[in-house]
Amino acid sequence: MEPKNLDQYFPCSRQKYYVSTLQRRVGLTLRRAECLVRLWAYLLLKESQDQGLLPEVSLANLTPQRDFVACTHREAAELFYANRDRGSDRAAGLMLDRLASLGVLDKRFDGQTLCLKIRTMPELLTPATEAPLPELFADAFNPRTDAVPAAQLMTRTYSELVKDPAATSYKITKNLRAWADHYRPCMRVLRRSDTLNPVGITVLYPVTSDSEVHFFYPPSRSFFLTTDRPTDPFTMATQGDPNCTSIYVRAWIIDPLYLSRHTLKQLIHDTQVTLHQMKEDFPALCDLYSMMIHPSYEELRRLMGFERVSQDTQRPYSWVYMSIDRYLNLDAVEVVNALTP
């Protein structure tokens, strides 16, 4: 069993399900949940292989390990940073340390061999049966009904930047409503067809010309929603502003439980429709900027054509850029189908 074969035995759809479960029940960040799920599946498969029981079909569910399993930092790096630019043995070792410090992983080292075991916790065990997920549809953001659930989704997504989740959710809620009051057309959601609850959100924030300079400095200098910073460094442009040329993608999120090729196509297409409409209100629009926080979006960034503009020196955060005209010409089906299964 090798790390490169993991997706063959444990499909991405199942990985996403467990990632969402861990985020909700255990409170892990998206990145840590992704790493834990991949590590957990790999250790189970190695354990099965050692017993001569490697499954011929996909691993259906994650179950408790029977014993510690040997795993090197190199193996962990290949698991954690597959199809990504960043990642090293040292970085993988640090991630293992973080997972151990959070109480979800046990480590044993005898001076030569590192052995790992996912700690058995009720929160990590998912029922074998799943209710079918409802259809989603794109809709306008409603500040009266969507602000609180959208703020909670954003807080979970950026949890690695958040010190106080309650304060952050409150701050995001207030700002979402303020932005909607200023220019609501830039805000969209993906809703469940049954409950109408939002499970995805996009905020295509038009910025004034004097705010554009922040895109060329390290992203951490512009953090606002996840900090106690009182003043937003980015000012929203007023509808009809002839000098507004740039959009800051302040949110482009789907709850991991609902993330699929289909919903990703929905989000890309709805963003294109929204940008077309916004160009009528801001005729000079031409630049699209976004902040890259999660390495899990690296492959999508590359396939869509976003280029890095600036980056933090000590952290894997970066500003990325794409012209709006090129984004509007994207073939959502082609982009999504090119993603690694």
Enumerate the domain spans of the chain: 3-124, 136-337
Phi, psi at residue 292, to the nearest 5°?
Answer: -90, 115
In angstroms, the CA 80 to CA 234 distance is: 34
pLDDT of residue 130: 53
Cβ count within 10 A of residue 231: 6
Quickly state the pLDDT bin for 268 (edges 50, 70, 90): very high
Inform me whether the pLDDT recorded for 128 exceeds 50: no
**Percent of the chain with pLDDT strictly greater than 70:** 89
Confirm whether 3-124 and 136-337 share one CATH topology.
Answer: no
**Domain 136-337 fold:** Aminopeptidase (3.40.630)
**pLDDT tens across 82-107, in order?**
766 556 788 888 888 888 877 788 88
In this prediction, residue 339 carries a pLDDT of 82
Collect all residues with Cβ–Cβ distance below 8 Å to 60 and sequence separation of at least 6: 14, 128
Instruction: Please tell me the least confidently modeled range out of 18-22, 93-97, 258-262.
Output: 18-22
DSSP 201: E
C-alpha to C-alpha distance for 202 and 254, rounded to whole angstroms? 9
How many percent of the chain have pLDDT more than 90? 48
pLDDT computed for residue 214 by the predictor: 96
Low-confidence winner among 91-100, 183-192, 225-234, 316-325 (lowest mean pLDDT): 91-100
Q: What angle do CA 277, 281, 284 make, to 5 degrees?
A: 100
Q: Residue 125: is its pLDDT beyond 80?
A: no
Q: How confident is the model at residue 216 (pLDDT cuts 50, 70, 90)?
A: very high
Architecture field, domain 3-124: Orthogonal Bundle (1.10)
For residue 159, the 8-state DSSP code is: G
Give whichever of 235-244, 303-312, 330-339 has the largest mean pLDDT: 235-244
Residue 131 confidence (pLDDT) above 80: no
Between the two ends of the chain, the Cα-to-Cα distance in Å is 19
The average confidence (pLDDT) of the chain is 87
